[in-house]
Amino acid sequence: MNSDNSMENQRPLILVTNDDGITAKGIRSLVEAVQPFGEILVVAPDKPQSGMGHAISVHDPLRLKKSSVFQGIEAYASSGTPVDCVKLAICELLKNRKPDLLVSGINHGDNSSTNVLYSGTMSAAVEGAMEDIPSVGFSLQDFAADADFTASQFVVKQVVEKCLSSEFPHHVCLNVNIPKVDEKELKGIKICRQARAYWRDSFDRRIDQFGNPYYWLTGEFENFDNGEDTDVFALNNGYASIVPTQFDMTAYHVMSDFNNWKL
Amino acid sequence: MNSDNSMENQRPLILVTNDDGITAKGIRSLVEAVQPFGEILVVAPDKPQSGMGHAISVHDPLRLKKSSVFQGIEAYASSGTPVDCVKLAICELLKNRKPDLLVSGINHGDNSSTNVLYSGTMSAAVEGAMEDIPSVGFSLQDFAADADFTASQFVVKQVVEKCLSSEFPHHVCLNVNIPKVDEKELKGIKICRQARAYWRDSFDRRIDQFGNPYYWLTGEFENFDNGEDTDVFALNNGYASIVPTQFDMTAYHVMSDFNNWKL
C-alpha cells in the first residue's frame, strides 16, 4: 500500500472496517458494494467487537495479520478494536497515503440514536473524522448473521458515489442506518438528527456451575423523541437515515448555567 | 442498598466508579473526598480499563463481587467496563433508588479535549447523564500510579458541593480535569469548551519470541486550537477545567450541506 505506482494511485483509496469481525456477512456486503468505486484496503477485527464504542488497546499489544478472506483485495485482520483498526491502517499500513474514504460496517444491527456512543462501527467512522477523512458508518436494522444486505448495498452505493463526487465537510462523519425492508420497499434516504432515545437496561442474572452469579446485559430501546426529523422516525417509516456526526461533546447550551456556579 | 431505613435515605446517595480499577489510588482519593457529602456506593472495574471509551460487554457475561477495599463503605468489583459498572449499579444494586450524584475517577491521566471519547472515566459519566443522574468525571494530568491527588481532592470537594446544592441541567455531565500542580499553585476552576486537539498516533512495532510482529499504540497529543476558552488552555495555565458534556453527536452545522446532496 506504499506503492509509488501512479496508475494505482489514480483510483480513490477506500479503507473498509467494521465491528462484527472480518468474516461477517456485513463487511463482505460492504466490500462488494464499494469495490467498483476504487482501490480497497480492509483492516477489520479478527473477532466480533460489537459494543466496543471508542475503545482502544492501551494495555495490550496488537496483532495485525494478512487475511485472504476477500479474493483479490488487500485485507488485514487485527486483534484490536475497530478504532485500533483505523489507527493501524493509517499509521502502519498507509503511512504515505491518506484514504479518500473510510467506510465501516455494514453492521448487523441498528446504530441509530444514542447507539452511536456504544457502536464500534460508528466509533471507527468518528476516528476517521478526527483524521479528517470522509467517513461513513453503515448499519442494518437486523442483528441476524445471515441478514439480507441487498437494500443496504443500494444505500451504500448511493452514499459512496456522493461522498466521492462532493465536498465532504471537515471533521464530521455520517451515521447511516438502513431499515429492515426489501430494496423496492425502501422509501428513500433522509438527513436526520440523532433521536433522544435510550436503552432501558436490565440484567439476566444466572448461576454458574459453582453456584456463583453472573450477569448478561439486556434491555429494551425506548424512544422519548417525537420529532419527525430524527433517525428513529425515518427508520420507523421505511427510510434510511443519515445523521451527520461530530465529536465536540461540549454542552454549549448549559455553559452559562455552570458559569453561574462561580467556582 | 434497597434499604427502607428512612434515616439512611436522608443523605445523598453518591455512586463512585472509575476506569483504572477499584484498587487505584485515584478512586481511593475520590472516595475520601466525597465521603463527607453522603452515602457512598462504589462499583468499579476489577482491573484497569483505561481507553475503554463507551464500551459495554455484549459478548461476555459480567461478574460482580463484593469488595472490602474501602473500609466501612459498600463496594463492588465488576469484571466489566466502566459503563457496565454504572449499568450494574443502577439496574442490579440500586433498583429502587436513583443516585443523587455519580462521580468517576480520579483518573490517572488527562481526559481533556477529544480524550473524552476514548476515556472510560468520562464514558461512565456520560452513561450517568443518559440516566439523567448529575454526573462528573475527574481526571488528573498525571499518569503515575502514585500521583499526588491533593489538589484534585480540593477540586472534587468544590465541584461536588455545588452539584449537590445547585440545579443540575438534565442529560449533561461534567468533564473535570486537574493540572499537575500543588494545591496552593492551582489558579482556579474554569468552565471551558472541548479543545480541537488530537492524538498523532504511532505504533511501536516489536518482534515476539516466535519472530512475529506485534504493535503497541503510542503517540503524541497535538493541540490545533488557539482558543483561550478551551480545557487545554486552562490546564496549560494552571487552572482546573470543567467542560459541560452532552451526548447528542449530531453535526447540526453541516445538515444543509448534506441536504444539498439530494439523496
- Write down the ipTM of this complex: 0.93
On the question of pLDDT at B1 being above 70, the answer is: no
Name, in order, each residue with C-beta under 8 angstroms of A254's C-beta and a sequence gap of 6 or more.
Answer: B169, B172, B244, B246
Q: Cβ of B215 and A61 within 8 Å?
A: yes
pLDDT tens-digit series, residues B160-195: 999 999 999 999 999 999 999 999 999 999 999 999
pLDDT tens-digit series, residues A165-188: 999 999 999 999 999 999 999 999
On the question of pLDDT at B115 being above 90, the answer is: yes
Instruction: Provide, as residue numbers in chain B, all residues whose Cβ is less than 8 Å from the Cβ of A177.
Output: none
One-letter amino acid of B103 = V
Q: DSSP for A147-215?
A: ---HHHHHHHHHHHHHHHHS---TT-EEEEEE-SS-GGG--EEEE-BPP-EEEEEEEEEEE-TTS-EEE
| Residue B230 cell numbers, joined | 478551551
The answer to whether B108 faces chain A, any CB pair under 8 Å, is: no
- Region A185-203 average pLDDT: 96
The answer to whether A263 faces chain B, any CB pair under 8 Å, is: yes
Q: Where are the alpha helices (DSSP H) in B102-244?
A: 115-118, 120-130, 150-165, 231-236
pLDDT tens-digit series, residues A6-48: 444 579 999 999 999 999 999 999 999 999 999 999 999 999 9
Q: Which among A91, A215, A246 is the nearest to B201, CB-wise?
A: A91
Min Cα distance B67 → chain A (Å) is: 15
Q: How much is the pLDDT for B9? A: 55
Instruction: Provide, as residue numbers in chain B, all residues whose Cβ is less than 8 Å from the Cβ of A243.
Output: 249-250
- Region A124-142 average pLDDT: 97
What is the domain partition of chain B in residue ranges?
6-194+227-247
Min Cα distance A199 → chain B (Å) is: 9
**Which superfamily, per CATH, for B6-194+227-247?**
Survival protein SurE-like phosphatase/nucleotidase (3.40.1210.10)
On the question of pLDDT at B122 being above 80, the answer is: yes
On the question of pLDDT at B7 being above 80, the answer is: no
Min Cα distance A86 → chain B (Å) is: 11
Q: Cβ of B215 and A63 within 8 Å?
A: yes
Instruction: Provide, as residue numbers in chain B, all residues whose Cβ is less than 8 Å from the Cβ of A232.
Output: none
Residue of A249, A254, A260 to mutate for B, most B C-beta atoms under 10 A: A249
On the question of pLDDT at A3 being above 80, the answer is: no
pLDDT tens-digit series, residues B47-92: 999 888 889 998 899 999 999 999 999 999 999 999 999 999 999 9
Which of residues 80 through 99 in chain A touch B, CB cutoff 8 A? 81, 83-84, 87-88, 90-92
Q: What is the CATH number of domain A6-194+227-259?
A: 3.40.1210.10
Q: How much is the pLDDT for A9? A: 55
Q: Cβ of B250 and A243 within 8 Å?
A: yes
Q: How much is the pLDDT for B50? A: 87
pLDDT tens-digit series, residues B202-249: 999 999 999 999 999 999 999 999 999 999 999 999 999 999 999 999
Q: How far apart are the C-alpha atoms of A116 and A241, rounded to whole Å? A: 13
Which of residues 130 through 189 in chain B touch A, CB cutoff 8 A? 130-131, 158-159, 162, 166-167, 169, 171-172, 174-175, 188-189
Q: Cβ of B57 and A63 within 8 Å?
A: no
Size of interface A-B (CB pairs under 8 A): 228
Enclosing H/E stretch for A234? helix A231-236
On the question of pLDDT at A210 being above 80, the answer is: yes
- Region A200-228 average pLDDT: 94
Higher pLDDT, B191 or B7: B191
Mean pLDDT of chain A: 94
